[in-house]
Amino acid sequence: MSYAPKDIEEKWQTRWAEARVAEVDVSAPGEKFYMLNMFPYPSGDLHVGHGRNYILGDALYRYFRMRGRVALNPMGWDAFGLPAENAAIKRGIHPREWTVNNIARMKLQFARWGILYDWSKELASCEPEYYRWNQWLFLQLYKRGLAYRGKAPVNWCPADQTVLANEQVVDGRCERCGSEVVQRVLEQWFLKITDYADRLDAGLDTLEHWPEKVKLMQRNWIGRSVGADVEFPVPAIGGSIRIFTTRPDTIYGATFMVLAPEHPIVPALIADHPQRAEIEQWIAGVRNQSNLERQEAGKEGRFTGKYAINPFTNEEIPIWLGNFVLMQYGTGAIMAVPGHDQRDFEFAQQYGLDIRVVVMPNVGRASARPDGLKPVLHEAYAAKDDSAIIVNSPLIDGLAPPQAIERIIDEIERRGIGKRMVRYRLRDWLISRQRYWGTPIPMLYCETCGIVPVPEEQLPVRLPLDVPFTGREGNPLAKDERFVNAVCPECGGAARRETDTMDTFVDSSWYYARFISAHDDMKIFDSKLVNRWLPVDQYIGGIEHAILHLLYARFITRTLHDMGLVDFEEPFASLFNQGMIIKEGFRTAAGQWVPLDDVETRDGTPVRKSTGEPLTAEMAKMSKSQFNVVPPDELIARYGADTERVYTLFIAPPEKEAAWSDDGVVGASRFLNRVWGMAPHPALRATLSHDAGEGLGVRALLRKTHQTIDTVTRRIDRFEFNTAISALMELSNAIGDAVAEGLDVRQSYLVLLQLLHPFAPHITEELWEMLGGEGFILTSSWPVADPALMAEDVIVIAVQVNGKLRGQVEVSNPPAEAEVLAAVKENANVQRWVEGKQVVKTIYVPGKLVNVVVR
RNA sequence: GCGAAAGUGGCGGAAUUGGCAGACGCGCUGGACUUAGGAUCCAGUGGCCCAAAGCCGUGGGGGUUCGAGUCCCCCCUUUCGCACCA
C-alpha cells in the first residue's frame, strides 16, 4: 500500500475537528500550558514562510499535550487596519467583507497544515464583541489619567488626509500613495506609557526566557539615562536655563551651552540680536528638516549673543543654538563639554569655541599622566569608569568619574541649582488614527462640557458599516452625520463624537487575556481564570514585533495589574522569534523583479524570457511583489502537509533565516515515505520480547530507540527542531536496517511514531491506527527514555600514548576503575584513572601522555 | 560611529563539559529497476593522492592545553539593531 497523503490528511483533519480535540475547558484541572502564536493580520493568502511560524507552534502544542499538559492553543485575528481599507477603496469591497473572506481562507489553510487551534475561543478585533472592551479599557485608562489629549507633531499625508504611523512612512513618503509626508502639529490622543518607563525597563530583568536581543532592543528604546538637571543662570534675561546631563562630573569643562533651535526661550534670547531675521530663518529651516536631513546636514549653529554662567567655574559661557540638540529629549538644552563629548567637540572645532580638559586617563602618578591638557578628544578622556580621573575641577579633583558624579550632584542639590534625574527616550504612545477601519475612540466633545467620555453602559460605540469609501477625502467617519452627532451624557446638549480610531496596536496589547473568556459580554475577562492561565507559557512571533507590540503589551498588562484585574506584570513568560523564510527571486539590472514564468536559464545564467536581458538571482523575503512566494497548496497536493511541516522545521534552526529549496523538500518526503514503507512489514506484527539470547541487533536498536527519545525530548525543549528531526531520521534508518535483517522492530517503530507526531501528525495518526494503537496518538503519552537501556553494554577504550595508539581494550560499561586501570597499565604503564560519565576522560601522567578514548 | 550576533564541505546545517570535525538532509558521481525519469532503491561523496599509507583541513594570525570548531588576545568579513538621546 502506498502512501497517499491527501486522503490520510483529510481523514485526520476531519476527525480532529469532529472530536474537538483542541477545545480546552479553562476551568478543568491539570497543569496548564498556554501556547500562543501572535495573532495574524488577516491579509489573505498564507505562504510557506508564514507556515513556519504556525507549524512551529503546533508542533510545540502537540508535544506539550503528549507530555500531559492541559494545553491551550487559541487563535484570533488582528482584524482592523489599513490594508482592509485600501482594498475597499481600490476594489469596492467593504473592509469587513474583505476581512471576513480572508479569515475564512486562512482558517482553511491552517486546517490543511494540520494545525490544531481551539476555535471555540476565536476572536476578531474588528467585531464589536471584542472592540467594545478595547473602548472600555481606554475609558479606564482615561479615568486614571493614562489617556490624554495633547498636541504633537505627527506624520501627515496630505493626499490621504491622515496621520500615519512611523512605520507607514517609508523614506519620508507615504507607503500607500507615495506623497511626501509632512510634519504637522495636531491634537491627538496619547497613552501615557512614559509613566511606566521605569517599570518596563526594570521588568526586562525578570524575563529569563526572552531573547537577549529583544530585551536589548526594548532597553534601548526605553533609553534610561541617569544624570542630573542643572540650572545655568542667564543674567541678560534675568532667568536661567535648565540642562540635563549624564556627566555632571565634567561640568567644569562646560565652556558653552547649546539649545535646540525650537527651545521656547530662544525668542527672548535673540530678541535684540542684530541678525535676528537671519537666525529666525535658519531656525525655520531646521524645523522643517526631518531628523535624518538634520543629521545629514552636519552640525550647524548660531550664537545667540547671550551668555550663561557656569555655576561651578562662575565663567560666562556663550549660549549657542545647534541643530544637533533635540527638543524632544531631556530639556532641549545641553551644557557642552567639548573636551569629552564627540558632538560638542565637533561643534567647538567648527566654531572655534574653548575646549577644556577635565578628565584624564588614570595612570597612577600625576607625573606619569600624558600632558593631557591639550584640546583633543580621545577615548580615554571620555571614560566614565575608574580608568579615568577628574582634573581641573577644584571640588572633585582626583576622583574617578563614578565618585565625582555622586559628589558633584550632592553639591548641586545642596546649592539648590538642580537635582538627580533619570530620563527616558521613550515617548508617549500616540494612538489616534484618522482612519475608518479601527476601534472608535469612545469620547465626545460637548460645546458646554468639553471632552466627555462615553458612559460605559453605552459601549460599544459601534463602527457604522454603511459608509462610502472614496479614499481621497479623509476619514469617512468624520462625514457620517449619524455617527458624529451625539448627545452629551452630562448636560444632554449636542455633542460631537470623536471620529479618530485607535491604533491597532491597542487591539493587540491585551488579546492574549481575552482568549481565556473570549465570549464574556459582561466584562473584559474573568480575572480568576486569567490569573490561572497567564502569563502565556510560550509566545511565538516575528522579530519585527520586538519593540512595538511587545512593549505595548507589557505596558497594558501593567495598567491591568494596577487596576487590580490581573496579578502579574509580564504577559509572556517565554518568547521565541522564528526566522523568516527567504527564497531566490530574479531582478533586472534596473532592479525590477521578474515573474518566474518569465525567467529561463541560458548558458547557466538566468535571463528574462520576454526580452532576453540578463537577470540576477537574489535571496529575499517571500513576497508577492518579488514573485518568490511558495504557496502551500501545490506543495501539499504533491507531497502532503506532513512533508511541508517536516521540511519547514528541518530546513534550519528555527530562529534563523532559512532559504527555501524546492529540491530540499523531497528529502522530507522520502523520509516520510520510508517511515510509511516500513509499516506493513511482517516484522511489525510480531511480538517483541527481550529474553536473553536475543540477537545483538535487537539490543542495539532498543538502545538507539531510547537514546533517540532522550535526544529528541531535550532538543524540542531547546527549540532544536532541525536536529530533533535528524535524530528521528537516524532512528528511522536504524529501524529500516533492522527490518531488512528481519528483526522485530515493533516497539521501536511505535516510539518513532510518537516522537514524530508533533512534526508529522497525520501520517503518524494513520500508522498508529493501523498498528492497533488506542485513541489518537495525540492523546497518547510521550515516551520516556530508560537510562539503563540507553547505555552501551561494553565500550572499547583506545590507549594512546603521546598520540600513538598503544592498544584497544574492551571494558564493561560503566567501566570499573580497576578494570580500565589494569587495561591501561598493561598497555601504557599508567598510574591514575579519571572517570568521566560515559566517555572516558583524559589520563595524564607527567612525562607521559596517555589518551583514553571511547570507541 | 555605537551596540549585538555570527563566520565549519558545492548547499542547508551537526558536534553536553575542550576529546574520532562534517551527524542528518540536499546536490553530485556510479549502479539497479525502467519505454522514460524531475519516480524509487543501493553504494560513494571535505581536500591533496590512480590507490593505499600519509598529510592538510572549522575566516586570518598568535596563545593556553597532552588535546581547540569550542577557551584567551589581535585582525578581517558578514548580518542585524540603534542612529546626534547630551
Q: Which residue is nearest to nucleotide B6 (CA to C1')?
A: A656
CA of A666 to C1' of B34 (A): 21
Mean pLDDT per 10-residue run, chain A (855 residues)? Answer: 82 96 94 96 89 94 96 96 84 91 96 96 96 97 95 75 65 64 82 93 92 89 92 93 94 94 93 93 84 77 95 95 90 91 88 88 54 51 75 89 92 95 90 91 94 94 86 77 92 93 94 96 96 96 86 96 97 93 82 79 73 80 82 90 94 89 90 85 47 57 91 93 94 86 85 95 92 87 88 64 58 62 59 36 46 49
**Chain A 289-308, CB < 7 Å to strand B:** 291, 294-295, 297-299
* Nearest nucleotide by C1' position to the A732 CA atom: B24
Q: What are the residues facing A124 on neighbouring strands?
A: A77
**Residues paired with residue A450 on neighbouring β-strands, in sequence order:** A446
Q: Quote the pLDDT of residue A598.
A: 80
Note the ipTM here.
0.93
- The residue written with cell numbers 491585551 in the block is A510
Q: Which residues of A393-426 are buried (b: 16+ CB within 10 A; e: fewer)?
A: beebeebbbeebbebbbebbeeeebbeebebbeb
pLDDT given for residue A206 in this prediction? 92
Q: What is the pLDDT of residues A416-441, one digit of tens each?
A: 999 999 999 888 888 998 889 999 99
Cα Rg of chain A (Å, integer) = 34
A390 Cβ neighbours under 8 A, 6+ residues apart? A249, A358, A359, A396, A397, A398, A399, A400, A401, A404
The Cα–Cα gap between A748 and A733 comes to 12
Summarised one tens digit per residue, pLDDT across range A122-154 is: 999 999 999 999 999 999 999 999 999 988 777
Q: Which nucleotide is nearest to A228 (CA to C1')?
A: B86
**pLDDT at residue number A155:** 76
Residue A627: per-residue pLDDT:
82
Residues 788-827/A with CB within 7 Å of nucleic chain B are 802-803
Q: Which nucleotide C1' is nearest A851 CA?
A: B66
Torsion sign over Cα A198, A199, A202, A207 = negative
Asked whether residue A247, judged by its CB, lies under 7 Å from any atom of the DNA or RNA strand B, the reply is: yes
Q: Is the CB of A833 under 7 A from strand B?
A: no
CA distances in angstroms from A192 to A160, A195, A392, listed in the order given: 28, 6, 43
Closest to A460 measured CA to CA, from A81, A741, A139: A139
Q: Which tens digit of pLDDT belongs to each residue from A500-552?
A: 999 999 999 999 999 999 999 999 999 999 999 999 999 999 888 888 899 99
Q: Which nucleotide does the CA of A423 lie closest to, via C1'?
A: B85
* Separation of alpha carbons A385 and A193, rounded Å: 32
**A579 sits within 7 Å of strand B by its CB:** no
Sort strands A256-259 and A333-336 into parallel, antiparallel or unpaired: antiparallel
Residue A130: closest CA among A433, A514, A401: A514
> Cβ of residue A349 near strand B, that is under 7 Å?
no
pTM for the predicted model, two decimal places? 0.90
For cell 568619574, name the residue. Answer: A401
